[in-house]
Every structure is written in structure tokens, then in C-alpha cells.
């Protein structure tokens, strides 16, 4: 019974979060093939530790945390550090939705942020998670997440002026 439940949960989770995870991992790593691996690994890890997931953190937060940690492990490898990923965005397969130069600019700007700021931006702004959820996913105090988002905002302001509005 529990097995069936777990199986049903996995199918549902893949339906709901696969695309989001894939895009976050790509924007984090700048590598479609590695992002694909991370997504697979994320669902496998979640499957293995399903018994420990009680839903307190929220399913998306939990999966994003696993994915971000897996991305961090990959980034530590010597192989990753010595691979050029500058053209990864250009090499993506064509999507179903047309995009323009502005979409490209903002995506590149986010992907070029320093790693710690990028993590916070991807979860908070790109995925629309709350600061609380982002903090849980990154295992950081909320104040640190705020601080990183502020810094990211400062860095992006010049390049993405049109994307800002008066508070």
C-alpha cells in the first residue's frame, strides 16, 4: 500500500515539478545535459527518502533543496570547473514559446550572477517561492536570503533597468 502511495506520489511530483526543476538546474549550472542528470538524481533521492518527507517544508521546497544540493556537488567537481558553458543557452532546443531579445538578456543576466545570489534569485524570483521557502531550501537564515536578493538587485539594476519599478 505504502509502495503504491509512493509510486503515485512520484508520478504526481514528476508531472508538477519536472520542468521547473530542469529550468532551475539549467540556469544554475549552464549545462542542459547536467541539468537533466540532476533532475533524474533529484527524483531518485526524493524517492529513496520519501519516508522521511512529512510535507512540513512543502514538496517544491524539498525537491528544490535536493536539486540545489546536487547542483552544488556537481559544481565542485574539477571537470565542471574546467568546462566552457558560455554557449549553453544558444544550444538549447527550440521551445514551444517564442522569445525575444529582452527574454534572452534577462536570462543571461541571471545566469551570470555570482553563485550564491543566483541560487536565491532562481528560487525566489524565477520560481516564485517565498523568502521563507527559499531560506528553507537553501538552509539559510531568512536575513541572508534578503541580503543576497538585495545584492542581486543592485547588480542587475544597470543591465535590466526596464525590469524595475518604483517601490
Output the nine-digit C-alpha cell for 3.
Answer: 509502495
**Residue number, 56 or 133, with CB nearest to another protein:** 133
Q: Which of residues 87-146 bind another protein (CB under 8 A)?
A: 89, 92-99, 102-104, 106-107, 110, 124-128
Please identify which residue in 12, 19, 49, 112 interacts with another protein, judged by CB under 8 A.
19
Q: How many residues does the chain have?
A: 167
Compute the distance between CA of residue 12 and CA of residue 108 in angstroms, rounded to an integer.
Answer: 31
Choose among 152, 61, 161: nearest CA to 110: 152
**Residue number, 38 or 56, with CB nearest to another protein:** 38
**Residue number, 56 or 105, with CB nearest to another protein:** 105
Compute the distance between CA of residue 85 and CA of residue 73 in angstroms, rounded to an integer.
Answer: 17
Please identify which residue in 31, 43, 66, 123 interacts with another protein, judged by CB under 8 A.
43
Q: Residue 155, interface with another protein (CB under 8 A)? A: no
Question: Could you give the angle at which helices 32-48 and 2-29 cross, rounded to 10 degrees?
Answer: 150
The CA R_g of the chain, rounded to the nearest whole Å, is 17
**Residue number, 6 or 116, with CB nearest to another protein:** 6
Footprint of another protein (CB under 8 A): 3-4, 7, 10, 14-15, 18-19, 22-23, 26-27, 32-33, 35-36, 39-40, 43-44, 47-48, 89, 92-99, 102-104, 106-107, 110, 124-128, 153, 156-157, 160, 163-167
Amino acid at each position: 500500500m505504502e509502495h503504491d502511495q509512493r509510486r503515485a506520489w512520484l508520478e504526481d511530483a514528476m508531472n508538477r515539478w519536472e520542468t521547473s526543476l530542469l529550468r532551475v538546474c539549467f540556469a544554475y549550472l549552464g549545462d542542459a545535459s547536467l541539468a537533466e542528470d540532476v533532475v533524474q538524481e533529484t527524483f531518485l533521492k526524493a524517492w529513496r527518502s520519501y519516508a522521511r518527507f512529512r510535507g512540513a517544508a512543502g514538496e517544491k521546497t524539498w525537491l528544490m533543496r535536493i536539486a540545489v544540493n546536487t547542483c552544488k556537488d556537481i559544481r565542485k567537481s574539477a571537470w565542471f570547473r574546467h568546462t566552457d558553458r558560455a554557449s549553453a543557452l544558444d544550444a538549447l532546443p527550440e521551445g514551444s514559446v517564442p522569445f525575444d531579445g529582452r527574454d534572452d538578456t534577462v536570462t543571461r543576466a541571471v545566469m551570470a550572477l555570482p553563485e550564491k545570489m543566483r541560487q536565491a534569485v532562481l528560487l525566489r524570483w524565477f520560481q516564485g517561492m517565498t523568502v521563507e521557502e527559499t531560506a528553507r531550501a537553501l538552509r539559510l537564515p531568512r536575513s541572508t536570503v534578503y541580503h543576497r536578493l538585495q545584492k542581486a538587485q543592485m547588480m542587475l539594476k544597470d543591465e535590466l533597468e526596464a525590469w524595475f519599478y518604483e517601490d
